[in-house]
């Protein structure tokens, strides 16, 4: 259990390391950070992308960028590049929600994308509102829905409608000359989460009340 001094979002990075959804690809950085996600192979039937956190190696990227550019460029330019790299990091809202989509539940944070079951009738760049929000958590409070947090909405944008990786369904019966080889690609939709709203008026559990009860 995390120490009492750590907040709900003890590390956006550690959360992202285990969260199965992918982050915003950073705009200007050529470097990509992927953390092998042990749970990604486990979580079924969710299709997962590698989780990488641009927010975590903020300290790590900055020296990398400066190392590459410093020998080639004069020093004032190097400092400029460092600053630009820092500013490019999008400020992420420290909030998460548990949302139910396509019969499955996902932990969702704004700015990340998510593969869900194919949403029929939507097109690319459609704005989507996900209504079944089961839990919302911020740094200081948690809103636990019974079963749903009323009026809470997770806003998302449909990015891409594609297919999952091919799965070979091979059926075989021994000594009976029975072999069937079928390939299967499940349709999915990639959806990017833009924001979580509407949960403020719900009875919440705050950090102080938990600390008191423990």
Would you tell me which residues interact with another protein (CB under 8 A)? 1-2, 8, 10, 14-15, 18-19, 42-45, 96, 98, 100, 105-107, 134-135, 137, 142, 144-147, 167-172, 179, 181, 205, 207, 210, 213-214
Distance separating alpha carbons of residues 187 and 165, to the nearest angstrom: 9
State CA 134 to chain mean position distance: 17
In Å, what is the CA distance from 147 to each residue of 150, 198, 214?
9, 16, 25
Give the phi and the psi of residue 185 in degrees, each rounded to 5: -125, 115
Compute the least distance from the CB of residue 129 to another protein, in Å.
Answer: 20
Query: How many CA atoms does the CB half-sphere of 192 hold within 13 Å?
Result: 12
Which residue lies nearer to another protein by CB, 86 or 184? 184
Which residue lies nearer to another protein by CB, 96 or 115? 96
Which residue lies nearer to another protein by CB, 68 or 207? 207
Compute the least distance from the CB of residue 213 to another protein, in Å.
Answer: 6
Q: Quick check: helix, strand or coil at residue 105?
A: strand
Compute the least distance from the CB of residue 180 to another protein, in Å.
Answer: 10
> Is 188:167 a contact under the CB 8 Å cutoff?
no
Compute the least distance from the CB of residue 177 to another protein, in Å.
Answer: 13
Give the residue from 76, 69, 55, 160 showing the smallest Cα distance to 118. 160
Structure tokens at 17: 């390391």
Compute the least distance from the CB of residue 49 to another protein, in Å.
Answer: 16
Compute the least distance from the CB of residue 160 to another protein, in Å.
Answer: 24
Which residue lies nearer to another protein by CB, 55 or 61? 55
C-beta neighbour count of 54 within 10 angstroms: 24
Give the residue from 153, 158, 145, 144 showing the smallest Cα distance to 210. 144
Which residue lies nearer to another protein by CB, 2 or 77? 2
Which residue lies nearer to another protein by CB, 64 or 132? 132
Q: Give the H or E element holding residue 108.
A: strand 104-108
């Amino acid at each position: 259990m995390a120490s009492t001094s750590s907040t709900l979002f003890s590390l956006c990075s550690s959360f992202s390391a285990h969260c199965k959804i992918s982050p915003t690809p950073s705009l200007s950085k050529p470097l990509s950070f992927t953390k092998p996600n042990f749970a990604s192979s486990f979580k079924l039937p969710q299709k997962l992308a590698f989780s990488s956190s641009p927010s975590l190696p903020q300290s790590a990227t900055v020296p990398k960028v400066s190392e590459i550019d410093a020998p080639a460029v004069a020093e004032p330019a190097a400092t400029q590049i460092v600053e630009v790299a820092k500013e490019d990091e999008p400020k992420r809202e420290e909030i998460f929600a548990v949302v139910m989509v396509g019969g499955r539940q996902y932990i969702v944070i704004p700015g990340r994308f998510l593969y869900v079951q194919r949403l029929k009738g939507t097109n690319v760049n459609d704005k989507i509102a996900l209504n079944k929000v089961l839990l919302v958590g911020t740094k200081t409070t948690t809103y636990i829905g019974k079963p749903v947090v009323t009026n809470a909405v997770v806003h998302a944008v449909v990015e891409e409608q594609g297919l999952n990786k091919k799965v070979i369904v091979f059926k075989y019966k021994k000594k009976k000359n029975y072999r069937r080889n079928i390939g299967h690609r499940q349709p999915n939709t990639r959806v990017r989460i833009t924001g979580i709203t509407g949960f403020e008026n719900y009875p919440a559990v705050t950090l102080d009340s938990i600390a008191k009860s423990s």
